[in-house]
Amino acid sequence: MAYSDKVIDHYSNPRNVGTLDKSKKNVGTGLVGAPECGDVMRLQIEVDEVTNTITDAKFKTFGCGSAIASSSLATEWLKGKTVDEALAIDNMEIVEELALPPVKIHCSVLAEDAIKSAINDYRVKNGMPALEEAKSHH
């Protein structure tokens, strides 16, 4: 399969690979996918509680090049966004940016799920109600 230049770039030079301290109250962690499905994404955000802005984002992904690129791109986009802005990221924006073919759209869906799941974790940790939407794709 031919990958787009952007997918190859993110695969070869992934942005923000790593781990944030999930015990910190202002860190939200999302773990989505399953090993037997061939994709597992873990996406983490660190939030400035005063400004409600995402100050750092990290990911680790087990998956194909498109899955790695989707999560790498997601962390790039998350940094500097407010939590509300982050919630508005739609998987189709990732599809467009990375020029994902139809068989790889699920990678972008997984990335969107990972973002929502991380935000949800942050919300729950900080006494806010869980997002309804976080489960919508499952």
Partner 1 sequence: MLKLPIYLDNNATTPLDPRVLEAMMPYLTEVFGNAASRNHPFGWAAEEAVDYAREQIASLINCDPKEIIFTSGATESDNLGIKGVFEMYAQKGNHIITATTEHKAVLDTCKHIEKLGGRVTYLPVNEEGLISLAELEAAMTPQTVLVTIMYGNNETGTIQPIREIAAIAHKHGALFMTDGTQAVGKIPVDVIADGIDLMAFTAHKMYGPKGVGALYVRRKNPRVKVTAQMDGGGHERGMRSGTLNVPGIVGLGKACELARLEMAADTARLSAMRDRLERELLTLEESYVNGSREHRLPHVTNISFKYVEGEGLMMGVKDLAVSSGSACTSASLEPSYVLKALGLSDDLAHSSLRFGLSRFTTDEQIDYAIGHVKEAVTKLREMSPLWEMFKEGIDLSKIEWAEH
- Please report how close the Cβ of residue 26 comes to partner 1 at its closest, in angstroms: 21
Q: In DSSP terms, which residues pair with 42 in a beta bridge?
A: 31, 60
Structure tokens of 20?
Answer: 């944030």
From 38-46, 79-87, 89-97, 122-130, give the range in contact with partner 1 by CB under 8 A.
Answer: 38-46
DSSP string, 19-64: ---TTSTTEEEEEEEEGGGTEEEEEEEEEETTTTEEEEEEEEEES-
Is 107 among the residues known to form the active site? Answer: yes
The answer to whether 37 is a known catalytic residue is yes
> Six-digit token pair at 79?
């940094």
What residues pair up with 59 in beta bridges, in sequence order? 17, 43
Work out whether 99 is an interface residue with partner 1 (CB under 8 A): no
In this chain, which stretch among 45-53, 61-69, 76-84, 121-129 interacts with partner 1, using CB under 8 A?
Answer: 61-69
List residues near partner 1 by CB under 8 A: 1, 3, 11, 14, 17, 19, 31-42, 60-65, 67-68, 103, 106, 109-110, 113, 117, 137-138
